[in-house]
Structure 1
Amino acid sequence: MKTLMRHGLAVCLALTTMCTSLLLVYSSLGGQKERPPQQQQQQQQQQQAPATGSAQQAAESSPQPRPGAPAGPRPLDGYLGVADHKPLKMHCGDCALVTSSGHLLRSQQGPQIDQTECVIRMNDAPTRGYGRDVGNRTSLRVIAHSSIQRILRNRHDLLNVSQGTVFIFWGPSSYMRRDGKGQVYNNLQLLSQVLPRLKAFMITRHKMLQFDELFKQETGKDRKISNTWLSTGWFTMTIALELCDRINVYGMVPPDFCRDPNHPSVPYHYYEPFGPDECTMYLSHERGRKGSHHRFITEKRVFKNWARTFNIHFFQPDWKPESLAISHPEGKPVF
């Protein structure tokens, strides 16, 4: 009897132990299921932390992607292709802006000019026969409406498409109209059909107004009220500021050059040796009041001021503006 009681007691203890163990296991499982999502997320993050750190270290140690090729020249506002009406895209590090001045005769600056990345010329200034003094290359030619007929007469020399020269034409808005009534624009359209490879651009009416406004800002003079007709030199220098990082100007005299009674006499154009004297032309236009005139000397004062801040340098004759206590505002003219 005692033996049976001991066996029964042992069985009860065993069952009690098993039940207790099952309850503990169930409680642990139930508690894990009822754990808040935030605690589960924290636990997962703790478990993943070593792997994430390893991935980050691998990413930092891996070589970075090489930057892509530099973008091409940005489109320049206000210069539209005559044939396709697309904006001009052009940029140059170094530019040689070659004037038409007689100061370039016997200068032997041609080789130096031709070594420059971009060579800029004006109107119908030729290179054939003058290469030793003015160079032979042309990257950009800025042409006034009044010079187009001379350009056409010498088209075999001046409209040489083999060099990839860019041509920018400017003129009054009435001449550049695109509704069939613009005489200059119509001629340019025909020219583009005859020479389809010609890179011809025109300055838009809005851009022309901006050139006028820039003249007023720099001189305090309204172009129309003062009977001023901006010169091709004004357009060319301003365009060069948009295109070039550095500008070397050949043949431009300082603004007070012609006031010196001992100044040398040179022709207004190097290719017209028996033409008018340069200073005579400058002074007559500067002093003219009846009709419209170029203000060559006023424009050169502006260029002199720009050269105090911008990367502009003058050669043949060689000169540089004196420093002033108050410098020109930094930043190129904004159009």
Structure 2
Amino acid sequence: MKPNLKQWKQLMLFGICAWGLLFLVIFIYFADNNSVEPVPSAFSYIEDKKLPPIQGKQRVIMGALQDPSLSYAIDEGILNSFKSGPGSLKTIADVENYFESEDEFIMSKKKKATVYRDSNQSARYRQSSHSRQRKTRRNVRRAKQQMLEESDEWNGFSSTMSKSFLQKLWKGNVSSKMLTPRLQKARREYLRANKLGVSFSGKQNSRKLSAQELLCILKKRAHVRTLDGKEAPFSNLGWEKYFPHIPLNKLYPQGFSTCAVVSSAGAILNSSLGAEIDSHDAVLRFNSAPTHNYEKDVGNKTTMRIINSQILTNPSHHFSDSSLYKDVTLVAWDPSPYYADLHMWYHKPDYNFFPPYEHHRKKNPNQPFYILHPKFTWELWKIIQENSNEKIQPNPPSSGFIGILIMMSLCEKVHVYEYIPSYRQTDLCHYHEQYYDAACTLGAYHPLLYEKMLIQRINQGTEDNLLRKGKVTLPGFSTLHCPINDHIT
């Protein structure tokens, strides 16, 4: 019995060893397979875009690199293509390679060390394999982008503005037909609703005006006008004592040499434009856009702030006690009926901002705080409509367009940042908020698309500044020499 028992123990030991070796082989096999990086799914790019930006020093925006060590190389690669000066838009075909292959660039950087450790034959094999993977992913992304742009359910989390559309916007050659179905539908809805009773009796210019002709029209008609309390119903209510006695266009009698208009767009993040912005004599900002923690990109100086009526009425903005609205010139506005019926507007504004305005003026009588006259904002709308080939939304222009025209009346030269987006274009609405929507760039309520095309037409800056900085340079009205009796048809 003992010899049989000994043999049985030996067989058991041998079986255990065999099972252990088999388990080890299986483990190594699956471990090697898992080490291969999987090809991303068709929606992985969208899912990455949904990550909210981190506010403050480590903020990340949609479409931006998340590895600081790689950002410099990519930025330099695209920016070098814009250094050819005038006519550089011809090189945009090369730029598309940057936009379409950003993910592949990051992947190749991660794998480069492994390639160098292998032999030349292995390196060639890996490069060939990576090339096939890149081609597959590029095709997936293109199909996905087409699917998104053709879908009414498209939600704007990815980079919804196609690169070809952005290029056309830089050239001022876009129309509403190039918008996504979602934005086209929004435009049609606003045209149909016509909440403010717009009845445009003017006519569109029969030919495309030159930049100088457009500038002279703006100078002639875009006179900044604010409420002064001399018109009813404000005159009957004793409001003349609340409005500043010095008109806004005479507040700075010496004017300014250079001014900056700083858009709140998410594209201004990671721009490092702060020092350049602060170098101007005056700086205009919008609504609740902060500077704290964003100085590197947007600067710190604020001379004037344009605020819509929601800022005064929404408690979340803390208008009465926030430092954003102190020690600066404030200019508020609210959409009114098209015919600027002040009685109707006062009793039924879009947001009832008159009580908080009155309260603020009683508390801070020495702070320059103006309310734009509705006739001024609607005159700007008429100019945009007259110089557009399509019907524009029957709603007032955006705060951005209003602010640009105000600064053109106060400054000899105006530099506008990221109103027309640079190559950093993103659907992040505002650099200080976690909200994504292409309408913030191309317009839904406001006729933003048409505003930006008009501004692009009068831009006197270089193509390089537009592509790199989103910077438009405009002359102040005081520097323009226009014919006295100009008749344009």
Which TM-score tier does this pair reach, normalised by the shorter chain? 0.5 to 0.7
State the shift of 1:189 in Å: 1.4
Q: Which residue of 2 aligns with 1:100?
A: 264
Distance in 2 between the 1:97 and 1:315 partners? 17
Match of 2:455 in 1: 303
Equivalent residue in structure 1 for 2:323, among 142, 157, 167: 157
Given that 1:113 and 1:134 are in contact with CA atoms closer than 8 Å, whether structure 2 keeps it comes out as: yes
Structure 1 residues 304 and 121 mapped into 2: Cα distance closer, same or farther (>3 Å)? same
For residues 218-237 of structure 1, the aligned pairs below 5 Å read: 218-219=387-388, 226-237=393-404
Task: Provide the C-alpha distance between the structure 1 equivalents of 2:384 and 2:448, rounded to a whole number of angstroms.
Answer: 12
Task: Report SS of the residue matched to 1:96.
Answer: strand
2:357 is the counterpart of 1:188: yes
Provide the aligned length of Structure 1 versus Structure 2: 229
Structure 2 equivalent of residue 6 of structure 1: none
Q: Secondary structure at the match of 2:387?
A: helix
Match of 1:252 in 2: 419
Shift in alpha-carbon separation, 1:282–1:101, aligned structure 2, 3 A: closer
Residue number in structure 1 paired with 2:4: none
Residue deviations 1:199-232, cap 9 Å, x none? Answer: 1011113223322222222325565xx4344211
Q: Deviations over 1:126-169 (max 9, x none)?
A: 112211211111111111122323543474221122xxx21111
TM-score relative to the length of structure 2: 0.41
Distance 1:215 1:114, change over 3 A: same
**Paired residues of 1:151 and 1:158 also in contact (CA < 8 A):** no
Q: What is the DSSP-based 3-state SS (H/G/I as helix, E as strand, rest coil) of the residue aligned with 1:304? A: helix
Contact 2:427 2:440 survives alignment (8 Å)? no
In 1, the alpha carbon distance for the partners of 2:298 and 2:394 equals 33
Identify the structure with the greater strand proportion: 1
The one-letter code matched in structure 1 to 2:375 is H
Of 284, 296, 302, 1:132 maps to 296
Q: Which has the higher helix share?
A: 2
The match for 1:169 is 332
Q: Does 1:79 align with 2:221?
A: no
Output the CA distance in 1 between the equivalents of 2:320 and 2:468: 27
Q: From the superposition, tell whether residues 308 and 133 of structure 1 become closer, same or farther in structure 2 (CA, over 3 Å).
A: closer
Q: Deviations over 1:251-304 (max 9, x none)?
A: 2335xx79xxxx7535110001x3114x36435x45xxxxxx222222110110
Cα RMSD, aligned residues only: 3.5
* 192-201 or 245-254, which deviates more: 245-254
Counting aligned pairs with the same residue, the percent is: 22
In structure 1, list runs of 5 or more residues that go unmatched.
1-75, 287-292, 322-328
Letter in 2 for 1:83: F
Structure 2 unpaired stretches of 5+ = 1-222, 229-241, 474-479
- CA distance 1:249–1:275, change in 2 (3 Å): same
Q: Distance in 2 between matches of 1:238 and 1:158?
A: 22
**How many angstroms apart in 2 are the aligned matches of 1:202 and 1:233?**
16
Point out which structure has higher relative CO (alpha carbons under 8 A, 6+ apart): 2
Conserved? CA contact 1:102–1:266, under 8 Å: yes
1:121 aligns with 2:285: yes
Code of the aligned partner of 1:132:
K
Instruction: Kindly provide the CA deviation profile for residues 226-253 of structure 1, in whole angstroms up to 9, marking residues without a partner as x.
Output: 4344211121112122122111112233
Aligned equivalent of 1:208: 377
1:269 aligns with 2:416: no
Q: Which amino acid aligns with 2:441?
A: Y
Q: Verify the 8 A CA contact 2:377 2:402 in the aligned structure 1.
A: no
Q: What do the CA deviations read for 1:105-142 (whole angstroms, capped 9, x no partner)? A: 12221122111100011111111221121111111111
Q: Distance in 2 between matches of 1:167 and 1:212?
A: 22
Give the counterpart letter for 1:232 in structure 2: S
1:75-133 Cα distance to aligned partner (Å, 9 max, x none)? x6412465345411232210011000112212221122111100011111111221121
The residue number in structure 2 matching 1:242 is 409
TM-score, normalised relative to structure 1: 0.58
* Cα distance between partner residues in 2 of 1:151 and 1:79: 24
Residue 103 of structure 1 aligns to which amino acid in structure 2?
A: A
Query: Structure 2 CA distance, aligned partners of 1:315 and 1:170?
Result: 31
**For residues 188 and 315 of structure 1, do their structure 2 counterparts lie closer, same or farther at Cα, with a shift above 3 Å needed?**
farther
1:175-208: CA deviation from partner (whole Å, max 9, x where unpaired): 9958973632232111111222321011113223
Q: Is the 8 A contact 2:272 2:298 kept in 1?
A: yes
Q: Is the 8 A contact 2:224 2:409 kept in 1?
A: no
Distance 1:250 1:77, change over 3 A: closer
Deviation readout 1:51-88 (Å, 9 max, x if unpaired)? xxxxxxxxxxxxxxxxxxxxxxxxx6412465345411
- Alpha-carbon deviation of 1:320? 6.5
Distance 1:266 1:209 in 2: 28
Distance in 1, matches of 2:285 and 2:332, equals: 12
| Whole-angstrom CA distance in 1 between matches of 2:363 and 2:467 | 38
Q: How far apart, CA to CA, are the structure 2 residues paired with 1:97 and 1:80?
A: 23
Q: Is the 8 A contact 1:144 1:170 kept in 2?
A: yes
- 2:114 maps to none
In structure 2, relative to structure 1, the CA distance for the partners of 1:222 and 1:209 (3 Å cut) is farther
Q: Secondary structure at the match of 1:239?
A: helix
- Whole-angstrom distance in 2 between the partners of 1:270 and 1:299: 21
Matched-pair contact (CA < 8 Å) for 1:253–1:317:
no
SS at match of 1:245: strand
Q: Which has the larger radius of gyration?
A: 1
Distance 1:200 1:178 in 2: 21
